[in-house]
């Protein structure tokens, strides 16, 4: 079964899409074609969108699912005229909250993803810059300012995890690749000198060697770098190092960046500078 879902917002659409994806992910047997429509901030735009939704209903032979976070009641009323199944996030949750809190909502557009407090916004920007500046072992002299230092073999997910931690939580995350340059004469992986003073900040990522080989093959096909033997050897050495030095680590093979990040925070007690948006 295939259905179309419209995520509609008078702002960025991030909230509608995030909530919508979370809800629809529970229906594994249904194939959902997802369409995000941000900045539907006038009745005219809403009416134009209704025409698109109705056309989709005819084409699919099924009512599209409409998930919206529209604040303006006139715009919501216009969208309700569409031939779709509507899930109105704000009216569903704001009304009971207004009753419980004994006050009315401000019904302000774009509050969730606006800049808001300048210090929070700037903290987010500084954290992202820190992650970029300290990616892949680029500037080890800044590790005293890091909240966490991700370690692991090349292409195991260190960079996207670092950026996600920065963007969503304001955590200053550096990352350092474990390579053959860090091997002892007997072939044992040792902790790089740049990481020794910051051992308490280390968090390891590992990955299934078969998955790693597939990822590396896309970058350097048919090379030693992407060979199964090389991937298995590097992963085995990294995991041995983690266990020897009691470095906490996560197998990133089947986890999303979001899951890796939140599990890491839960395990280490890292302090979030702000909540995810």
Decide: 19 and 112 in contact? Cβ < 8 Å.
no
User: Does the CA dihedral 93-97-103-105 come out positive or negative?
Assistant: negative
Annotated binding site: 152-159
Annotated binding site for ADP: 152-159
Instruction: Tell me which residue of 70, 59, 81 sits closest to 37, measured CA to CA.
Output: 70
Q: What are residue 88's DSSP bridge partners? A: 68
Q: Determine if residue 41 is left, alpha or beta; phi over 0 gives left, psi from -120 to 50 gives alpha, anything else beta.
A: alpha
Distance of CA 151 to the CA centre of its chain: 19
Decide: 194 and 138 in contact? Cβ < 8 Å.
no
Decide: 176 and 192 in contact? Cβ < 8 Å.
yes
Token digits for 25?
């992910």
């Amino acid at each position: 079964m295939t259905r179309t879902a419209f995520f509609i917002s008078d702002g960025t659409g991030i909230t509608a899409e995030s909530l919508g994806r979370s809800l629809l992910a529970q229906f594994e047997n249904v194939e959902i074609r997802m369409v995000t429509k941000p900045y539907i901030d006038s009745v005219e735009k809403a009416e134009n969108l209704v025409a698109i939704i109705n056309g989709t209903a005819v084409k699919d032979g099924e009512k599209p699912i409409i998930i919206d976070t529209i604040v303006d009641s006139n715009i919501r009323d216009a969208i309700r005229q569409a031939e779709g199944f509507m899930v109105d996030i704000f009216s569903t949750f704001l009304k009971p909250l207004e009753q419980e809190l004994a006050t009315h909502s401000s019904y302000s557009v774009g509050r969730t993803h606006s800049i808001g407090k300048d210090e929070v916004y700037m903290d987010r920007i500084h954290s992202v810059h820190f992650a970029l500046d300290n990616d892949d072992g680029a500037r080890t002299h800044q590790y005293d300012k890091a909240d966490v230092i991700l370690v692991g073999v090349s292409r195991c997910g260190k960079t996207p995890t670092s950026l996600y931690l920065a963007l969503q939580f304001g955590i200053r995350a550096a990352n350092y690749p474990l390579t053959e340059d860090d091997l002892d004469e007997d072939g044992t992986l040792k902790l790089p000198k740049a990481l020794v003073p910051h051992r308490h900040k280390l968090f390891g990522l590992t990955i299934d060697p078969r998955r790693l080989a597939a990822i590396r093959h896309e970058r350097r096909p048919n090379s030693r770098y992407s060979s199964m033997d090389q991937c298995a050897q590097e992963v085995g050495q990294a995991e041995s190092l983690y266990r020897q030095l009691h470095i906490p680590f996560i197998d990133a093979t089947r986890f999303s960046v979001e899951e890796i990040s939140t599990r890491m925070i839960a395990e280490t007690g890292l302090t979030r500078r702000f909540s995810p948006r």
